[in-house]
Amino acid sequence: MKPEVEELKKQGNESMKEGKPAEAVFHYTHAIKIDPKNHILYSNRSSAFLKIEQYYLALQDAITTTKLEPTWPKGYFRKGEVEFQAGDYPAALKSYKHAFVLDTSDEGIKQAMSKTTKEINKQLKVERQQPLTFAGIGGAIGIIIVTADQYLANQPSIPHWIFQIILIAILAVIGFFASKLYRYMLSMQQSSLLDPPPDILSDLGGTPDSNPGPDSEKEIPQHRTGQKGGRQRYKKGKS
């Protein structure tokens, strides 16, 4: 590794330790422009992007890492980290499994697989129970309306019991489909986390197939930035 690249990587690592991931992105990006085939730089920048919740950019760097060094387990682990944080647990588990095939002795990968499996099971449980819960809520609202109509109104607007049952059933069905709509919207929201921000190619400033000069570096987009804790770190391998 060239001395200037090593120095930029060192500065990026120090920025990460100091809790300045956005600053680290600039150091890694500058290093990538000088050495665009260095898989470690992409891996490190992926971690920095993930810290500021730039999920798309973090995922692209993780994918690039696996392409440059397909036998390096940390690249697939990094990809799994991004997918996990974006809520795509099946994809994350697949990435972790790929990393585990390459390094079956690493406890960090095993723990990540276990944690992701639990999240998948939890998600499946919610998907099974939530429609029934929403339907129950809709039905309960229907019962309240019918009861209030019968005992609080001077003249009940739904006097016949058949129509009362129909109203309760309709509200229960509405609740059922409301849960489906809610799950769909939640899924779309999670998927959007991995959508590319505007002007992605110009903002990234460096890919394995291109090496623009250091003066062409642009500001990294601040798309959905913020801090998010609780990520498990991969300890094995140089970074």
Helix H segments across 69-160?
73-85, 89-102, 107-151
CA gap 187, 184 in Å, rounded: 5
- The SS3 assignment for 88 reads coil
Q: Closest Cα partner for 101 from 128, 76, 137, 129?
A: 76
For the entire predicted model, the pTM comes to: 0.70
- The SS3 assignment for 149 reads helix
Q: Which of 12-16, 89-93, 155-159 has the lowest mean pLDDT?
A: 155-159
* Residue predicted with more confidence, 24 or 238: 24
Neighbours of 144 (CB within 10 A): 12
- pLDDT recorded at residue 36: 94
Task: Indicate the residue type of 51.
Answer: K
Q: What mean pLDDT do residues 6-30 have?
A: 95
* Tens-place pLDDT, residues 204-228: 444 444 333 333 334 444 444 444 4
Alpha-carbon distance values, 98 to 67, 75, 113, 172, 206 (Å): 13, 10, 11, 44, 26
- pLDDT recorded at residue 184: 84
* Tens-place pLDDT, residues 150-195: 888 778 888 888 988 999 999 999 999 998 898 888 888 777 777 7
